[in-house]
């Protein structure tokens, strides 16, 4: 594991390195100057917060879930919006960001992973950006990015677009409307950029070190609700690495995932569609495997005889689960195959089918809960 000094000495991406190290200094002294001059005012703080929300969700719902993972589709207006909103976060062009991110998913925790956590927390957080990276501009593999004219335009003029949308725009708004040019630039521009940077970086560092692994422990990604709170829902990273094309990162209604809510709202407006959701039986199955893994390893420590007894008990519950899961999958297939016109014609049948789906879904949840109870019982005895 190499430290900051090593990455500093071997750095070859100087524009990015200087930007990352100088912006926090400018933010700190600029904010002190702003306060010292008695310029503090609420409208500038509100503007900064609005910019933080717009640029933050531009990265999460736009750069990440739309462009990198294609977890849903959206019309050109939405694509333009996210390209500009995410672009104002100073995290590079959509193409650069997405190409790196796709490799992160494919080669997670390996030497090819651009933000490989095994190189250390600091590296995964942002030292990786000190080095130039060769990116795979393969039109076959990444044609959706590298053949898209809008994205190529953004990539070409990235610096100008970011400077205008991230620094000049908030400065102009605060300056023209309430005379706070300095606050617009420093607080809503630079300070907000620094905060947004490190919140995004935390996904690659914090969420690969701390948190729970309910779906898989084959990789370092973790669910961390605390980080999710500051990153518009992206903290549920164990789920995300398991089901990367799902437009959701959190699946429970009480889990904080505003990026998901935003995408859902866009779909209700008819400007986003084809929101990809992982079938619930798949999610349950993954969760069950993890629970079984944890429990059997604990029981195995107490002896083989107890382990085989436990497995027999668990298998029974698993069969019930599988039966419900199969029924649900079959029903969903039928549900999805029907064309909308046909759906209207057969509304009554349609409704019955939906009701049955709900029943099977309930059965599935019950079977899963029974499995969890059995697993706990076996372990406690």
Helices (H), 249-279: 258-268
Minimum distance, C-beta of residue 249 to Zn ion, in the bound complex (Å): 9
Minimum distance, C-beta of residue 204 to Zn ion, in the bound complex (Å): 6
Q: How far, in whole angstroms, is CA 46 from its chain's centroid?
A: 25
Q: Give whole-number Cα distances, 317 to 25, 49, 51, in Å.
A: 58, 49, 50
- Window 71-110: residues binding Zn ion (CB under 5 A): none
Minimum distance, C-beta of residue 117 to Zn ion, in the bound complex (Å): 8
Q: Which is nearer to Zn ion, 165 or 259 (CB)?
A: 259
Q: Which is nearer to Zn ion, 71 or 310 (CB)?
A: 71
Asked if residues 203 and 227 have their Cβ atoms less than 8 Å apart, the reply is: yes
Minimum distance, C-beta of residue 335 to Zn ion, in the bound complex (Å): 28
Chain residue whose CB lies nearest Zn ion: 221
Minimum distance, C-beta of residue 108 to Zn ion, in the bound complex (Å): 7
- Window 193-232: residues binding Zn ion (CB under 5 A): 221
Q: Which is nearer to Zn ion, 200 or 291 (CB)?
A: 200
Reference 93, options 51, 122, 62, 54; nearest CA is: 62
Task: Measure the CA angle with vertex 44, ends 185 and 202; round to 5°.
Answer: 70
Q: Which is nearer to Zn ion, 221 or 275 (CB)?
A: 221
Q: Which is nearer to Zn ion, 51 or 67 (CB)?
A: 67
d(CA 307, CA 146): 53
Minimum distance, C-beta of residue 262 to Zn ion, in the bound complex (Å): 16
Q: Which is nearer to Zn ion, 103 or 190 (CB)?
A: 103
Q: Which is nearer to Zn ion, 114 or 184 (CB)?
A: 114
Full DSSP string of 285-352: HHHHHHHHHHHHHHHHTT-HHHHHHHHHHHHHHHHHHHHHHHHHHHHHHHHHHS-HHHHHHTHHHHHH
Q: Which is nearer to Zn ion, 221 or 307 (CB)?
A: 221
d(CA 129, CA 204): 12
* Residues near 119 by beta carbon (within 8 Å), at least 6 away in sequence: 1, 2, 128
d(CA 36, CA 256): 37
Reference 189, options 213, 215, 163, 222; nearest CA is: 163
For 212, half-sphere exposure in the C-beta direction (CA atoms, 13 angstrom radius) is 11
Minimum distance, C-beta of residue 250 to Zn ion, in the bound complex (Å): 14
d(CA 220, CA 216): 9
Minimum distance, C-beta of residue 96 to Zn ion, in the bound complex (Å): 15
Minimum distance, C-beta of residue 244 to Zn ion, in the bound complex (Å): 5
* Residues near 122 by beta carbon (within 8 Å), at least 6 away in sequence: 3, 4, 7, 205
Minimum distance, C-beta of residue 124 to Zn ion, in the bound complex (Å): 9
d(CA 273, CA 290): 32
Q: Which is nearer to Zn ion, 58 or 189 (CB)?
A: 58
Q: How many residues bind Zn ion (CB under 5 A)?
A: 1
Q: Which is nearer to Zn ion, 201 or 284 (CB)?
A: 201
For binding to Zn ion (CB under 5 A), which residues are involved? Answer: 221
């Amino acid at each position: 594991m190499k430290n900051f000094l090593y990455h500093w000495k071997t750095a070859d991406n100087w524009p990015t390195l200087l930007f990352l190290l100088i912006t926090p200094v400018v933010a700190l002294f600029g904010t002190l100057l702003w306060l010292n001059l008695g310029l503090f005012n609420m409208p500038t703080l509100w503007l900064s917060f609005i910019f933080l929300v717009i640029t933050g969700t531009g990265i999460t719902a736009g750069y990440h879930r739309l462009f990198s993972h294609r977890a849903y589709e959206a019309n050109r207006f939405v694509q333009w919006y996210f390209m500009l909103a995410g672009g104002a976060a100073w995290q590079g062009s959509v193409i650069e960001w997405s190409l790196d991110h796709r490799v992160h998913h494919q080669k997670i925790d390996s030497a090819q992973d651009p933000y490989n956590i095994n190189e250390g927390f600091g590296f995964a957080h942002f030292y990786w950006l000190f080095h130039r990276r060769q990116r795979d501009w393969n039109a076959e593999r990444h044609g959706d990015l590298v053949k898209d004219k809008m994205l190529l335009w953004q990539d070409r003029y990235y610096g100008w677009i970011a400077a205008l949308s991230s620094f000049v725009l908030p400065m102009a708004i605060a300056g023209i409307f309430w005379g706070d040019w300095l606050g617009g630039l420093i607080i809503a521009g630079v300070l907000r950029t620094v905060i947004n940077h490190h919140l995004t970086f935390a996904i690659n560092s914090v969420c690969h070190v701390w948190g729970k692994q309910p779906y898989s422990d084959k990789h370092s990604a973790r669910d961390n609700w605390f980080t999710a709170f500051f990153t518009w829902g992206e903290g549920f990273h164990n789920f995300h690495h398991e089901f990367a094309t799902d437009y959701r990162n959190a699946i429970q209604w009480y889990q904080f995932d505003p990026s998901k809510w935003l995408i859902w709202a866009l779909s209700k407006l008819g400007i986003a569609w084809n929101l990809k959701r992982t079938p619930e039986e798949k999610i349950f199955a993954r969760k069950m495997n993890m629970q079984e893994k944890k429990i059997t390893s604990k029981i195995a420590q107490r002896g083989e005889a107890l382990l085989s007894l436990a497995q027999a008990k668990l298998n029974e519950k698993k069969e019930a689960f599988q039966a419900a899961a199969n029924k649900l999958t079959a029903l969903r297939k039928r549900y999805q195959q029907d064309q909308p016109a046909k759906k209207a014609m057969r509304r009554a049948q349609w409704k019955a089918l939906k009701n049955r789906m709900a029943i099977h879904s309930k059965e599935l949840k019950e079977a899963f809960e029974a499995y969890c109870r059995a697993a706990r019982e076996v372990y406690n005895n």
